[in-house]
């Protein structure tokens, strides 16, 4: 089950109308109850950000994937006996600049098996843009419930934060090249830091992380990293122009267009959010510097359409170029890929992923596309089940098959929380 911390807040943003004016947490403005509740949940789930996350200054250039430091870490909600190691490592921006990034490595209890623990690399969904929005600074690790399912089956998990989350600098949210670098180099740093990892690895990415996973799979075609066995991609934020339009017009989704605009500015400083967002939306952007997704969802939840974005924002030349350049799913990817989508998803509608699957098929990519009736983007406790939880039996079976554990990847174990099993559509 997706963590209550952010999932419930996003559920409210997506499913319930906003009746109160929500304002950013500035000194001259008081948050409403929803905003204050979001801050309280963020603080309750937070771990202290220590000097571990501060890279050396200046950061002397080193090969990407080089380990800067590591430390054993506690305070997380993980299965009994699991061990967690924090990493600080060298990654790269899209422009090739050396940058520090953080990650965690989780290994199951006991000693590693012969050949090492198979590795699942987790590319996480949108958590925010502030330093404290790093999953490694959250007690539940953001996707920790799903990570536990992998640990229970004897797999290690490598979970990068993305540069600018945890570390200093700024997070280039939406920049597919930077995200792919962070993921690949986290794996390389993990191999240097933690003994007992197998050479075999599978990538798993959800939402923003689903786009990152597709970017890594694109990269594998040109610059393969050994041991790759395929990728599980759930509800990917692949077509950024379509997602930006959907977020700008969908009730309660304003946080996502605000984060995309802010991330685009980090990637290309020539992109000015003031040309994309209304003055009221721009006045609330300061919240993205400290608040994570739940907080930002509360702050932007009452803005949509012309109250949120300026006319013609999608045709701003630099912003349009950013959206096109950083969209995924249009190029051939290294496979196999298990692409999963909930048909009840209100954040990434199923039609978007249908188009991604068809485009990948035409590119010659090996994609097993499955859709699931009744599954949402994330699990919203007491309301709906998300794709990662509802499809987890199929994810585990497919991953086991990729690691050669003899489980039939074609079998579909309908989840108890799902009305029915998936509709399977092979592409390629």
Instruction: Show the 3-state SS of 164-213.
Output: CCCCCCCCCCCCHHHHHHHHHHHHHHHHHHCCCEEEEEEEEEECHHHHHH
* pLDDT, position 383: 87
Tell me the average pLDDT across 274-283. Answer: 97
CA distances from 170 to 129, 175, 346 (A): 7, 12, 28
* pLDDT, position 2: 42
* pLDDT, position 421: 57
The span from the first CA to the last CA of the chain, in angstroms, equals 31
CA distances from 84 to 108, 179, 190, 235, 272 (A): 9, 22, 11, 27, 39
d(CA 33, CA 42): 14
Tell me the average pLDDT across 98-102. Answer: 98
* pLDDT, position 184: 98
* pLDDT, position 71: 97
- Choose the weakest-confidence range: 35-44, 89-98, 397-406: 397-406
Q: Is the pLDDT of residue 47 over 60?
A: yes
What is the overall mean pLDDT for the chain? 89
* pLDDT, position 91: 98
d(CA 164, CA 162): 6
Instruction: Identify the band that residue 381 occupies on the pLDDT scale cut at 50, 70 and 90.
Output: confident
Tell me the average pLDDT across 248-259. Answer: 95
d(CA 378, CA 401): 25
Which is nearest to 7 in space by CA: 292, 205, 257? 292
Q: Is the pLDDT of residue 85 over 60?
A: yes
Q: Is the pLDDT of residue 413 over 60?
A: no
Instruction: Identify the band that residue 357 occupies on the pLDDT scale cut at 50, 70 and 90.
Output: very high
The 10s digit of each residue's pLDDT in 184-208 is 999 999 999 999 999 999 999 999 9
Which is nearest to 241 in space by CA: 261, 268, 219? 261
d(CA 89, CA 24): 33
CB contact at 8 A, 100 and 59: yes
CB contact at 8 A, 138 and 45: yes
CB contact at 8 A, 345 and 415: no
Q: Is the pLDDT of residue 281 over 70?
A: yes
Helix (H, G, I), strand (E, B) or coil at 105: strand
* pLDDT, position 33: 84
φ, ψ dihedrals at 201, nearest 5°: -145, 145
Tell me the average pLDDT across 248-265. Answer: 96
Who wins on pLDDT, 186 or 36? 186
d(CA 111, CA 294): 38
Q: Is the pLDDT of residue 416 over 80?
A: no
Q: Is the pLDDT of residue 226 over 60?
A: yes
Q: Is the pLDDT of residue 296 over 90?
A: yes
Q: Reading across the β-sheet that carries 197-206, which strands appear in turn?
A: 67-73, 83-92, 98-107, 156-160, 117-123, 197-206, 228-234, 337-342, 367-372, 423-427
Instruction: Identify the band that residue 414 occupies on the pLDDT scale cut at 50, 70 and 90.
Output: very low
CA distances from 399 to 88, 117, 149, 333, 336 (A): 27, 13, 12, 18, 11
Tell me the average pLDDT across 105-111. Answer: 96
- Choose the weakest-confidence range: 46-55, 84-93, 376-385: 376-385
d(CA 355, CA 360): 9
Task: Identify the helix (H) or strand (E) that includes residue 117.
Answer: strand 117-123
* pLDDT, position 424: 56
Which is nearest to 428 in space by CA: 335, 311, 293? 335
């Amino acid at each position: 089950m997706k963590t209550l911390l952010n999932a419930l807040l996003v559920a409210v943003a997506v499913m319930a109308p906003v009746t109160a004016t929500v304002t950013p947490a500035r000194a001259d403005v008081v948050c409403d109850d929803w905003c204050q509740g979001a801050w309280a949940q963020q603080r309750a789930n937070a771990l202290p950000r220590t000097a571990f996350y501060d890279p050396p200054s200046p950061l002397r250039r080193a090969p990407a994937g080089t380990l800067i430091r590591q430390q054993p870490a506690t305070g997380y909600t993980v299965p009994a006996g699991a061990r967690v190691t924090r990493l600080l490592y060298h990654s790269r921006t899209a422009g090739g600049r050396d940058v520090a990034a953080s990650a965690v490595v989780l290994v199951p209890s006991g000693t590693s098996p012969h050949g090492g623990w198979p590795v699942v690399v987790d590319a996480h969904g949108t958590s925010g843009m502030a330093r404290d929005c790093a999953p490694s600074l959250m007690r539940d690790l953001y996707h920790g419930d799903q990570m536990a399912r992998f640990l229970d089956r004897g797999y290690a998990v490598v979970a990068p934060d993305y540069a600018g989350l945890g570390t200093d600098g700024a997070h280039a949210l939406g920049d597919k090249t930077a995200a792919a670098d962070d993921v690949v180099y986290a794996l390389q740093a993990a191999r240097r830091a933690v003994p007992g990892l197998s050479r075999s690895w599978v990538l798993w990415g959800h939402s923003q992380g689903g786009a990152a996973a597709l970017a890594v799979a694109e990269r594998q075609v040109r610059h393969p990293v050994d041991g790759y066995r395929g990728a599980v991609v759930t509800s990917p934020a692949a077509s950024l122009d379509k997602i930006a339009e959907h977020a700008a017009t969908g009730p309660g989704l304003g946080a996502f267009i605000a984060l995309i605009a802010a991330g685009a500015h980090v990637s290309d400083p020539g992109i000015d959010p003031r040309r994309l967002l209304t003055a009221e939306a721009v006045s609330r952007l300061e919240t993205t510097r400290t608040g994570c997704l739940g907080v930002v969802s509360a702050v932007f939840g009452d803005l949509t359409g012309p109250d949120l974005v300026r006319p013609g924002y999608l045709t701003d030349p630099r912003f349009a170029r950013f959206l096109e350049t950083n969209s995924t799913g249009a190029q051939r990817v290294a496979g196999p890929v298990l692409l999963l989508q909930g048909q009840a998803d209100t954040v990434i509608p199923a039609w978007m992923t249908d188009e991604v699957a068809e485009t990948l098929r035409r590119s010659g990519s090996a994609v097993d596309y499955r859709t699931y009736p009744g599954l949402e983007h994330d699990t919203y406790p007491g309301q709906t089940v998300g794709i990662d939880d509802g499809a987890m039996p199929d994810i585990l079976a497919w991953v086991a098959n990729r690691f050669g554990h003899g489980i039939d990847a074609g079998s579909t174990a309908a989840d108890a929380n799902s009305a029915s099993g998936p509709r399977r559509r092979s592409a390629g």
